[in-house]
Every structure is written in C-alpha cells, then in structure tokens.
C-alpha cells in the first residue's frame, strides 16, 4: 500500500519527526506547531514560549536548542530558530512530488458511519423564499463533504407539511372563488369540484391562496383553517385526499427549484420527509415515555418539561387543549430517526432563531436517557433580512418583502447569459444553444450558492440584489472561470500537434508561484476535514478562492505550454492536479464545474 505514506498528513509527519528527535511531549508539539504565517518563516513554526516557564530558560534559547536537535530529512530541508520560534522549511521538490505523483487524496475518517442531515425543509403552501436557500446549500455542502470523508449521509428534507397552513390554502380558495367551496366538506360527493379545481393548480398557485388567506388577517378565516386542520389530524379521508394533492403539488414546485440547484430529493439517501411522517401515536408514545420518566408536569393546563435547573425556559409539549407542540414532535421524530438509522451524528441545519428550541429538544432527549442526544447538533445560521430604504426588516409575506428563491435563481441565470454575450461573444459559435444554457445555469446558480457559502454560517445577511448578482472578484464565477482556464489548458495541450509528451520531471517546478500552489494544494484534505469538524463550508470556500487566486497569478506570469516540452509536460501535470482539487471542492459546495464559459 504505497499510498499510505501520502495518507499521513504532512503536519503529522513533521510532528513525529520532532517528537522522535527532541523527546518533547506529543501534546506540546501538537498544540504549538502551526503553519507559518509568512513564507520567510518557513512552512511550519513551533512556538517555544510555553516551555519557557517550566524549563526556566528564555524562549530564544529553547528555540535554538530544539532547532539544533532536529535533523534534516528528505522532507525537512532546513530548521531555523528565530526569536522564540523554530521555523521549519520543507523541501519543495519533495512536496511537489507528494502533490503531483498520486494527486491529492482524502483519507477515510468516517468508515461508513451514518450521519443524518435534516436540511432545506420548506413549508408546504408557504412561499419558498430566499431564506430557505441557506439551509439547503449548507446542508447539501455538509452532506457532500462528509460523504467524501467516508461517512454515509442520509439527507432528510423535513417538510413543514403538517399544520394549519394547509387549512389556510382552503380558506384562500374559498375567499377567491367560493363556488368551489360552498360545499359541505362532510359530504364526499361534493368534494369532486374541489379536487378538479386543485388538480389544475400549481404549487405556486397554492402559495397564492395561502397568502390570500393570511393577508386577509381575518379571525374567522384563521378559525376555519384550524378546523380544517383538525379534521385532517383526526384522520378525515376527504381532507386527507386534498392534503395529498396539495403536498404533491408543492413538491413538484420544490423539485423545480432543487433541480436548478442540482439537488435531488428522490433518492434513498436524500429524500423528502415531513412532519406528517410523525404520527400522533409516535408523539403520544414519546410523551408517555417522558411522563414515565418523571420529566413532565402540568402547568396552567399545559404539559411541560421544567428545564429551569439547566438554565433554560420550560419546554412546552402539549397545549392546554391537548394538541401537541413542535418540541414534542421533534423529540418523537428524533427517536424514530435513531431507531431507523442508528446514526453516529444527526445534524439539524436550521436558522439561529431556533437555537433555544433545539437546546431544549436535545436536553429532553438526554434526560430521557438517550445517550445519542449528545450526537445531535444544531447547525445554526444567520437570518436573511430584507434591506429597504426604511432599514432592515424580517421578510414578510404580508408586507410583500418576501423574495422568492426561484426569482433569484432565474435572475442569476439571466445575468449570466447577458454577461456571456457581452464578455465572450464568440461563445455562440463554439457551443450549442443547449450547452450555452447549461453554462448560464451553472455560472448563475453557482454564483448564488457560493455567495451564501463564502461567509461563516452565523453571520446574518442582508439580502442585496447587487451583491448576489456580482460575478467579479471573490465569487462563484471566479472559481468557474479558473476551472475553465485549467480545463482549457489541458485540452489545448492534449490536442496540440507536433508535441512530444515526456514524463513530468518534478524538479523543474521551481518558480515561487508554482511552489505556492503546491503548498496550498496539499492542504486540501485538512481543509475538508476542518470544514466538516466545524460544520463550516465557508472554510472550504475561502480556501478555494485562495487557491484559484494563486493559480491566476501564476498564469499571468508564466507560460504553461511552451517550446520547452519537459517543462510543459510538468506544468500541465500541475494544472491537471490542481483542476482535480478545484473540481472536487466546487462539487462539495454544490457548484457544477464547467469546462468552458
């Protein structure tokens, strides 16, 4: 297994060398060895300040002593003590060889362990707003990253398909066209006009009825919607039939958006679920179990779990009218999922406004005695707000400040098409119309996705058309552009006439720009691991931007394909390896890498 030596990270190899040669404790070396902040300080630096007190010597002296004990190897070229740091310089030729010979490999950390990821989760009937983009793209990225690290990911799109919002659709229909619904809902024969009516509607139409109902802001309408939902909950077949159609229509609508985003929720490992999956019996069993374990109490007629001693407000399970609440349903859902999947981890990719809710749910699961409660993680992210002239506000359907995700995606595609015409007019001759539209999609959608993934999750975002449609600088199109550049070089090299193609000679890569690329490339596995450990796709995003930047600078200065056939072959090898990394990384983020744009 030759590749095993490459599987061990460079850093680990250095740590091992240092421990072996200096006898320093492993914890210390691991904690104090870091990547050097500047090239003139080498590749890795060991800070010696912490040893100063215990050894009673100055950091400077310690650094000198340690440095003198580390011998050079084929990897460690030079060791230099500087003001309390031991700076370690690695052999460029060795690094080039490591990066180019086998390519960059990502070790298997997961060993097939299961991770359930609850993400996207829009509500049936409610508009699919830009706010849902975050959960969708973050969840998708984490799923791909963990899969690459050897985990088995199960994505669940936990639809909000069970609640009064469904009754509001009917109320909206009634308000708009009451001929369809003047009927007595209790008579099956009168249902047919409604069914025919709804069958002709799209998911977006149904959203419209929801909005009509809620924006009417009529107490009677709300009451009626509640009644309808009550009938659904009590298992009324006729309402159930309508519910099924409405759900199907909504999913068709969602599918269209997910298709644009390149996500498919009709597979075994990535599927639609929903609150409707959790039966009243599931919830009642969970609540009964809490009762039995003495966790619950009645307070003002409501069933609660008192979490005061854990520094949290009480968790409400059941309303005084007997109806169960969100928290009870999520506890029941978590138990059902554990029983089905026996996950090693479950991630809830849900906005930061639900932080308390998940803390409560996880705490209740823990109190119920489920040891896996500690493996449930709320992947929270900042809210999207709408910035108007009056200032910031939460998006509101009623105020008309909701921005539909589909509109944003279509706008991005349009913009990408326009730019293509403007900046690459000859593209029309080179590719077919269908290819061109795929390019426009990948670039436009990639821009929107990347825009969302490039910042730390927790940051709130002000929705801004200009920003989301920017294609210059640190953006998705920048990565795309770099990727097509790499691909174009490879294509050109492969098809060049009269060129001998010798084996790459790694010693030829000596330019500082190409060494920088190599050094950055070999960080890829660590970056992917770190993104997973911190549930933070932005770490990968920023890394890819930096990597692309290094290449674009290099490209500007150096000729890749030249008369020097040995050098060309070696540089193309670098280009090909780099392309593999960029392509993989973009794929993890949910961006489709292009060959031409």
Find the binding residues for RNA in span 116-175 (CB under 7 A).
123, 160, 163-164
Query: Which stretch in 45-53, 105-113, 180-188, 206-214 sits in contact with RNA by CB under 7 A?
Result: 45-53
Cα(411)–Cα(416) distance, integer angstroms: 9
Shorter beta-carbon distance to RNA: residue 349 or 461: 461
What is the radius of gyration, based on Cα positions, of the chain?
29
| Residue 507 touches RNA, criterion: CB under 7 A | no
Residues 577-596 that bind RNA (CB under 7 A): 596
In degrees rounded to 5, what are phi and psi of residue 530?
Answer: -65, -40
Say whether residue 556 binds RNA (CB under 7 A): yes
Of 19-27, 338-346, 371-379, 455-463, the window that binds RNA (rule: CB under 7 A) is 455-463
Run of H or E including 46: strand 44-47
Q: With respect to RNA, which residue has the nearer C-beta, 345 or 571?
A: 571
Residues 353-392 that bind RNA (CB under 7 A): 353-357, 382-383, 385, 391-392
Q: Which of 10, 14, 32, 305 binds RNA (CB under 7 A)?
A: 32
Closest separation between CB of residue 547 and RNA, Å?
11
Q: What are phi and psi of 88, to 5 degrees?
A: -115, 125
SS3 state of residue 185: coil
- Nearest approach, Cβ of 122 to RNA (angstroms)? 10
Residue 235 is given by DSSP the state T
Q: Which of 7, 9, 28, 47 binds RNA (CB under 7 A)?
A: 47
The Cα-based distances of 282 to 25, 159, 336, 343, 372 in angstroms read 52, 17, 8, 19, 19
Closer residue to RNA in complex, CB, 346/489? 489
Asked if 429 is part of the footprint of RNA (rule: CB under 7 A), the reply reads no
For residues 160 and 122, what is the distance between their CA atoms, to the nearest angstrom? 6
Per residue, the 3-state secondary structure of 527-593, as one string, reads HHHHHHHCCCHHHHHHHHHHHHHHHHHHHHHCCCCCCCHHHHHHHHHHHHHHHHHHHHHHHHHCCCC
Instruction: Confirm if 177 and 169 have CB atoms less than 8 A apart.
Output: no
DSSP label of 119:
-
Give Cβ neighbours of residue 230 (< 8 Å, ≥ 6 apart): none
Which of 295, 254, 290, 257 lies closest to 274 in space, CA to CA? 254
Site for RNA in 397-426 (CB under 7 A): 416, 419-420, 423-424
Q: Which of 26, 39, 49, 182 binds RNA (CB under 7 A)?
A: 49
- Which lies closer to RNA via its Cβ, residue 76 or residue 181? 76
**Residue from 54, 83, 189, 432 binding RNA (CB under 7 A):** 83
Q: How far is the CB of 193 from RNA (least distance, A)?
A: 30
Distance CA 454, CA 389 (A): 26
Among 320, 340, 510, 512, binds RNA (CB under 7 A): 320
Site string for RNA, 254-273 (x = CB under 7 A): --------------------
Rounded Cα distance between 145 and 137, Å, is: 12
Which residues from 97-116 bind RNA, rule CB under 7 A? none
Own/partner contacts of 247-251, CB < 8 Å, gap of 24 or more, are 247/124, 247/159, 247/161, 247/274, 247/276, 249/198, 249/201, 249/202, 249/203, 249/206, 250/124, 250/125, 250/159, 250/161, 250/203, 250/206, 251/159, 251/203
Q: Which stretch binds RNA (CB under 7 A): 170-178, 180-188, 201-209, 450-458?
A: 450-458
Closest separation in Å from C-beta 355 to RNA: 6
Q: How far apart are CA 65 and CA 86, in angstroms?
A: 9
Site for RNA (CB under 7 A): how many residues? 100
3-state secondary structure of 82: strand
For residues 84 and 593, which CB has a smaller minimum distance to RNA in the complex?
84
Tell me the closest approach of the beta carbon of residue 551 to RNA, in angstroms: 8
Looking at the Cβ atoms of 233 and 289, the one nearer to RNA is: 233
Least distance between RNA and beta carbon 411 (Å):
14
- Residue closer to RNA, measured from CB, 29 or 181: 29
H-assigned helices in 262-296: 280-292
Identify the residue among 454, 577, 579, 583 touching RNA (CB under 7 A): 454
Smallest distance from RNA to CB 112, Å = 26
Q: Which stretch binds RNA (CB under 7 A): 18-26, 280-288, 400-408, 535-543?
A: 535-543
Instruction: Work out how close the CB of 562 gets to RNA at its nearest, in angstroms, rounded to a whole number.
Output: 7
Alpha-carbon distance of 249 to 173, in angstroms, equals 15
SS3 category, 79: strand
The reply on whether position 539 binds RNA by CB under 7 A is yes
Residues in 206-235 that interact with RNA by CB under 7 A = none
Cα maximum dimension of the chain:
93
Q: In terms of CB distance, is 263 or 327 closer to RNA?
A: 327
Residues numbered 168-207 forming contacts with RNA, rule: CB under 7 A? none
Query: 348 with 380: CB under 8 angstroms?
Result: no
66 contact partners, CB below 8 Å, separation of at least 6: 18, 22, 24, 46, 48, 81, 86
3-state secondary structure of 439: helix
Tell me which residues in 487-506 interact with RNA (CB under 7 A): 488-489, 492
User: What is the residue-wise DSSP string for 305-342?
Assistant: E--GGGT-PPEEEE-TTS-B-HHHHHHHHHHHHHHHH-
Report in angstroms how near the CB of residue 199 gets to RNA at its nearest.
27
For RNA, the binding residue among 41, 109, 197, 370 (CB under 7 A) is 41
For RNA, which stretch binds (CB under 7 A), given 197-205, 255-263, 552-560, 578-586? Answer: 552-560
Q: Is residue 352 a contact point for RNA (CB under 7 A)?
A: yes
- Report in angstroms how near the CB of residue 432 gets to RNA at its nearest: 14
Give the whole-angstrom CA distance, residue 480 versus residue 478.
5
d(CA 293, CA 335): 15
Nearer to RNA, 326 or 372 (CB): 326
Strand partners, 393: 386
Q: Which residue lies nearer to RNA by CB, 5 or 557?
A: 557
Task: Give 561 or 589: the residue with its C-beta nearer to RNA.
Answer: 561
**Contacts of RNA in 456-485 (CB under 7 A):** 456, 458-462, 467, 470-475, 477-478, 481, 484-485
Q: Tell me which H or E stretch contains 402.
A: none
């Amino acid at each position: 297994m030759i590749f095993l030596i490459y599987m061990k990270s460079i850093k680990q190899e250095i740590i091992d060398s240092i421990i072996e040669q200096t006898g320093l404790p492993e914890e210390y070396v691991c904690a104090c060895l870091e990547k050097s902040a500047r090239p003139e300080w080498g590749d890795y630096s060991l800070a010696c300040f912490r040893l100063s007190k215990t050894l009673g010597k100055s950091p400077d002296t310690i650094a000198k002593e340690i440095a003198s004990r580390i011998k050079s190897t084929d990897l460690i070229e030079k060791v230099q003590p500087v003001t309390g740091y031991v700076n370690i310089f690695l052999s460029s030729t060795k690094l080039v060889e490591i990066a180019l010979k086998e390519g960059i490999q990502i070790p298997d950390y997961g060993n097939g362990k299961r991770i359930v990821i609850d993400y996207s989760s829009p509500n049936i009937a409610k508009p699919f707003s830009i706010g849902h983009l975050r959960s969708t793209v973050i969840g998708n990225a984490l799923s791909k990253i963990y899969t690459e690290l050897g985990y088995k990911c199960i994505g669940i799109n936990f639809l909000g398909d069970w609640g009064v919002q469904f009754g509001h659709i009917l109320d909206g229909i009634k308000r708009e066209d009451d001929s369809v619904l003047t009927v007595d809902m209790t008579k099956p024969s009168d249902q047919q006009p409604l069914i025919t009516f709804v069958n002709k509607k799209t998911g977006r139409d149904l959203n419209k009825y929801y909005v009509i109902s809620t924006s009417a802001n009529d107490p009677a309408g709300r009451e009626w919607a509640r009644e309808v939902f009550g009938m659904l909950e009590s298992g009324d077949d006729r309402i159930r039939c309508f519910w099924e159609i409405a759900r199907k229509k909504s999913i068709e609508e969602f599918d269209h958006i997910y298709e644009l985003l390149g996500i498919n929720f009709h597979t075994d490992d990535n599927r639609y679920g929903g609150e409707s999956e959790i039966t009243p019996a599931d919830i009642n069993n969970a609540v009964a179990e809490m009762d039995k374990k003495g966790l619950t109490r009645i307070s003002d007629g409501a069933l609660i779990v008192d979490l005061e001693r854990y520094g949290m407000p009480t968790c409400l399970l059941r309303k005084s009218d007997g109806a169960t609440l969100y928290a009870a349903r999520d506890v029941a859902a978590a138990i059902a999922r554990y029983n089905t999947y026996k996950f090693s981890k479950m991630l809830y990719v849900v906005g930061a406004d639900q932080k308390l809710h998940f803390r409560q749910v996880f705490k209740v699961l823990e109190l119920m005695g489920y040891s896996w409660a500690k493996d449930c993680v709320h992947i929270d992210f900042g809210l999207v707000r709408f910035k108007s002239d009056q200032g910031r506000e939460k998006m509101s359907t009623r105020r008309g400040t909701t921005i539909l995700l589909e509109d944003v995606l279509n706008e991005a595609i349009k913009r990408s098409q326009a730019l293509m015409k403007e900046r690459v007019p000859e593209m029309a001759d080179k590719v077919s119309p269908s290819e061109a539209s795929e390019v426009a999609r990948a670039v436009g959608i990639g821009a929107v996705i990347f825009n969302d993934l490039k910042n730390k999750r927790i940051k709130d975002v002000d929705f801004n058309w200009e920003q989301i449609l920017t294609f210059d600088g640190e953006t998705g199109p920048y990565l795309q552009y770099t990727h097509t550049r790499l691909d174009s070089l490879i294509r050109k090299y492969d098809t060049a006439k009269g060129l001998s193609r010798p084996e790459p000679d790694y010693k030829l890569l000596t330019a500082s720009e190409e060494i920088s690329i190599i050094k950055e490339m070999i960080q890829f596995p660590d970056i992917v691991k770190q993104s997973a450990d911190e549930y933070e796709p932005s770490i990968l995003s920023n890394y890819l931007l930096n990597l692309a930047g290094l290449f674009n600078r290099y490209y500007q200065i150096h000729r890749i394909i030249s008369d020097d056939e040995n050098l060309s072959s070696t540089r193309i090898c670098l280009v090909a390896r780099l392309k593999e990394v960029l392509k993989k990384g973009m794929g993890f983020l949910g961006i489709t890498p292009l060959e031409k744009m």
